[in-house]
Amino acid sequence: MERPILEFSVAGLGALFSLGVAAQEKPNVIMICVDDMNGYGLLDQYAPIKMPYFEKLKKQSVVFTNSYCASPVSSPSRAAFFSGMYPHNTGNYRNGATSWVESEVLTTVEALPEYFKRNGYETWGRGKIFHAPIPKEREEAMFDNRPIYQGGFGPFPSAENQLSGRFWGIEAFPDQDFPDVINGDAAVEFLRADHDKPFFLYYGLWRPHTPFTAPQRFFDMYSVEDITFPEGYKQYDLDDVPEQGRELSDELKRFIISGETTPEMWKKYIWGYCATNSFADWNVGRVIEALDKSQYADNTIVIVFSDNGYHCGEKNHWEKSTLWHMADYVPMFIRMPQGKGAICKTPVSLVDIYPTLAEYCGLDQPAQTLDGESMVSILKNPEKAIRRTVLTSFGENYSGVTDGRYRYIRYPDGSEEFYDHQTDPHEWNNISSDRRIGQIKKRLEGEIPRVWYPSLK
């Protein structure tokens, strides 16, 4: 008697799926990635910055205070969260590699949009996505929408407003000159439409990344006089940093080379960064407001995060590409339907996004073994901090590991840094040779991979 019942059940399930009934019950996903945003706004680390939409969304979301990228630059960071795999398992550590063509691993994994599509989702993607060349047919197979308009970093400042090259300038342009606005409008339109299947929506912003161009009203939110130097700046901070660490710092040369007074120019560029953060805040906010007015409000999980962090002078450095906290911490919040605001201190990585969405949406196993861990249990009880470590790599044998309190960095030549965020939030004091932290250092060192996939670049 048992066998016919089993066959009937399987057939019944198949019928449900073919009608899309079961699939419709699955939650929708909105994944929004901003570019080069640090914790100034989300974690209130920089008083002058204004991000009113993030402020509002924080009250409805789990805010992660210890969320980290897998690599501190765009392309490998994205390869990691789209594949769910750390760089040491794919070989994609830096920008410039054609990783999705070259890496034996990345050519065979199921990227997140492919995975959702195979699981019956309608997939939509626009804006800055992989930031690496992807075979056109593969990208088109990932997303159902056409065109998969991406845009680019422009508009670029005119020559008279450039400091050093077209990426380094400040200038206002009208809204419709910005891919983020065009793509945000398209996302809003998508959310107003009827969809038969559950959807996976990916909106990739090009800001706050340079050039610091934005519509005028975002510059007008500030006056340059209000801009202060970041708290984390310390003039001789690099004195206790090993040589391979010092090589990562540009010592604010960009402003010295320009021939203009360094402090004034430095403040002006922080103003530019604040304006592009506020611009990104507005674009993210209006898409989520469109969700809240839509029929999908009660069945959609929203995840907003940056691909890497950003220095504005901390460790005498601008931009990213370091293993220090400013470049490796990424603002991230997750809003579930009827979500309440909570702060989560458990260390998490962007590689955790893939397994989290897989579990939350009840999908099957992806093609590859994921390095991350699902955050679903964390989301259910966010204020209970769990002890774990996460890794950020920038090359073979070139990584930093953190447990949320301590950060241990080891460079290829074996030199080290060690910081205690409880007593030293700005990572001013490298205590790697302090014998008192020997056991803790050993524990974190034990989390550094033994085997490194050869670097593609």
User: What are the residues binding Ca ion (CB under 5 A)?
Assistant: 35-36, 74, 237, 240, 307-308, 428
Of residues 330 and 342, the one with the C-beta less far from Ca ion: 330
Supply the minimum distance, in Å, between the C-beta of residue 37 and Ca ion.
9
Contact 400, 409 (CB under 8 A): yes
CA distance 423 to 147: 50
Measured from the CB atom, the residue of 277 and 308 that comes closer to Ca ion is 308
3-state secondary structure of 38: coil
CB of 242: closest distance to Ca ion in angstroms? 11
- In angstroms, give the least distance from the CB of 354 to Ca ion: 19
* Residues in CB range of 187: below 8 A, 6 or more apart: 124, 126, 201, 203, 287, 290
**Least Cβ distance, residue 262 to Ca ion (angstroms):** 20
Burial class for 167, CB neighbours closer than 10 Å (0-12, 13-18, 19+) = middle
- Is the Cβ of residue 132 or residue 336 nearer to Ca ion in the bound state? 132
Provide the minimum distance between the beta carbon of 269 and Ca ion in the complex, in angstroms, as a whole number: 17
Instruction: Give CA–CA dist 311/371, Å, rounded.
Output: 27
Instruction: Rounding to the nearest 10 degrees, give the CA dihedral for residues 366, 372, 373, 374.
Output: -60
In the complex, residue closest to Ca ion by CB:
74
- Measure the CA–CA gap between 333 and 313, rounded to whole angstroms: 25
User: If you write DSSP's letter for every residue of 301-351 in order, what string do you get?
Assistant: EEEEEESS--EESGGG-EES-SSSHHHHB--EEEE-TT---EEE-S-EEGG
Closest CB to Ca ion among residues 61, 75 = 75
Query: Shortest gap between Cβ of 214 and Ca ion (angstroms)?
Result: 17
Q: How far is the CB of 280 from Ca ion (least distance, A)?
A: 12
Residue 75 beta carbon to Ca ion: minimum distance, rounded to whole angstroms: 8
| Cα(180)–Cα(206) distance, integer angstroms | 6
Find the shortest distance in angstroms from Cβ 40 to Ca ion: 15
Q: Which is nearer to Ca ion, 8 or 229 (CB)?
A: 229
Question: Whose Cβ is closer to Ca ion: residue 110's or residue 427's?
Answer: 427
- Report the relative pairing of strands 62-64 and 122-127 from DSSP bridges: unpaired
- Burial string for 244-279 (b: 16+ CB within 10 Å, else e) reads bbeebbbebebbeeeeeebeebbbbbbbbbbbbbbb
Q: At what angle do helices 179-192 and 262-292 cross, to 10 degrees?
A: 10
Nearer to Ca ion, 38 or 308 (CB): 308
Per DSSP, the residues of 57-104 read HHTTSEEESSEE-SSSSHHHHHHHHHHT--GGGTS--STT--HHHH-T
| CB 340, min distance to Ca ion, A | 30
Name the region of 338 (left: φ>0; alpha: ψ -120 to 50; beta: rest). Answer: left
- C-beta of 238 vs 363, nearer to Ca ion: 238
- For Ca ion, the closer CB: 74 or 92: 74
- The letter for the amino acid at 45 is Q
Which residue, among 38, 67, 65, 64, has the nearest Cα to 51 in the 3D structure? 38
Nearest CB to Ca ion, comparing residues 74 and 90: 74
